[in-house]
């Protein structure tokens, strides 16, 4: 009897060690941008919460470049074991696939959603002393001077570009696109009067907004944003919706065991309910999600269709 027990223990010991080893493995969170931006901040916040909840070390790796393709490839090169996560946004999951035909990944095929962290509505901004206090005035001026009013963006095919191009399409006006190399340059162009309007998040325009130098004249969402409740939606003025509310969420490589996805998703859902996380999201002007994989998958599918239409309307392309 003692000998049998000894044999059983000896055989089970490697499996116990294996399970313990798996629980101590490093979790990597890959971000397709450099340090400091909203996705990076959210990834680092999430890393802290996942580490505390799962009892594993979690590190953030920044892999910017190629519109997110470099980060995506690093996920595809990693084992499908739930240890390598991708914090991605609508740019990588919906806009870039609509712009580039020969992309090295297909979001809905190659990746599985773990949970959406939140979404960040874009606003249309004008300079406070520009004489364009609301969207109706902007549209009327554009109709009176076709092509003379311009808008700044961070580049061809960016959410900022698609937002303004779609606005012009809805309003039936002609606006001139002026792309810049960064959000800082775009915002500066608004302040100096080099452009008449921009469409961006409150995070990008935050200092101008708080100092009173820029005014949000419309939110590109189906509902008013509770953080800036006095700003009407585009639909309230033009009677047609315009929605540019980029999402940020967590994905893993397709083929990852459902148990691993469930474990990660449950941890993310718990984190999103924490007061300090909700406060951080609020300071980033983000609307939190429920963290459910099913919610995120439905949003991903809808955004693929919606942004593909916006790309067609804008005429944007990447060679």
State whether 105 and 129 are in the same domain.
no
With CA atoms as reference, report the closest residue to 117 among 42, 60, 187, 67. Answer: 42
258 within domain boundaries: yes
- Give yes or no for a contact between 58 and 51, defined as CB atoms under 8 angstroms apart: yes
pLDDT of amino acid 101:
84
Please write the tens of the pLDDT for every residue from 137-182: 999 999 999 999 999 999 999 999 999 999 999 999 999 999 998 8
Give Cα 208 to chain centroid, integer Å. Answer: 22
| The pTM of the whole model exceeds 0.75 | yes
Distance, CA of 136 to CA of 141 (rounded, Å): 9
Question: Looking at per-residue confidence, does 209 or 307 come out higher?
Answer: 307
319 within domain boundaries: no
What mean pLDDT is predicted for residues 102-107? 93
Any idea what the Cα angle at residue 274 is, between residues 269 and 277, rounded to 5°? 95
Task: Give the percent of the chain with pLDDT over 70.
Answer: 92
Domain residues for the domain of 220 are: 123-238
Residue 160 to residues 150, 164, 251, 258, 316: CA-CA distances in angstroms?
13, 7, 24, 36, 12
Question: Which strands sit side by side in the sheet containing 84-89, from one edge to the other?
Answer: 58-62, 27-31, 84-89, 247-253, 111-119, 287-288
Question: Looking at per-residue confidence, does 208 or 9 come out higher?
Answer: 208
pLDDT of amino acid 319:
56
What mean pLDDT is predicted for residues 16-42? 78
pLDDT of amino acid 24:
62
At which of 208, 238, 268 does a domain end?
238
Query: Collapsing DSSP states into helix, strand and coil, what is residue 90?
Result: helix
Question: Looking at per-residue confidence, does 206 or 68 come out higher?
Answer: 68
């Amino acid at each position: 009897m003692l000998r049998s027990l000894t044999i059983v223990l000896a055989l089970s010991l490697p499996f116990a060690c294996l399970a313990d080893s798996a629980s101590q493995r490093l979790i990597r969170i890959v971000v397709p941008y450099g340090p400091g931006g909203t996705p990076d901040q959210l990834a680092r916040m999430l890393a802290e919460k996942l580490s505390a909840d799962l009892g594993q070390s979690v590190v953030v790796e920044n892999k910017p470049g190629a519109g997110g393709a470099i980060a995506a490839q690093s996920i595809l090169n990693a084992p499908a074991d739930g240890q390598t996560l991708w914090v991605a946004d609508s740019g990588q999951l919906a806009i870039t696939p609509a712009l580039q035909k020969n992309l090295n990944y297909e979001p809905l095929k190659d990746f599985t959603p773990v949970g959406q962290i939140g979404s960040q509505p874009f606003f249309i901004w004008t300079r406070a002393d520009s004489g364009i206090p609301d969207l109706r005035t902007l549209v009327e001026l554009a109709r009176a001077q076709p092509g003379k009013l311009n808008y700044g963006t961070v580049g061809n095919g960016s959410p900022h570009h698609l937002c303004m191009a779609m606005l012009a399409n809805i309003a039936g006006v002609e606006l001139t696109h002026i792309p810049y190399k960064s959000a800082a340059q775009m915002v500066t162009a608004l302040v100096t009067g080099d452009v008449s309007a921009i469409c961006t998040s409150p995070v990008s325009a935050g200092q101008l907004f708080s100092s009173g130098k820029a005014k949000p004249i419309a939110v590109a969402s189906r509902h008013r944003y509770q953080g800036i409740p006095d700003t009407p939606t585009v639909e309230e003025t033009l009677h047609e919706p315009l929605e540019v509310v980029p999402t940020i969420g967590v994905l893993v490589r397709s083929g990852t065991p459902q148990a691993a996805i469930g474990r990660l998703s449950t941890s993310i859902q718990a984190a999103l309910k924490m007061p300090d996380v909700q406060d951080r999201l609020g300071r980033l002007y983000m609307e939190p999600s429920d963290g459910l994989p099913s919610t995120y998958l439905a949003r991903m599918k809808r955004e693929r269709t919606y942004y593909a239409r916006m790309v067609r309307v804008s005429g944007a392309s990447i060679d």
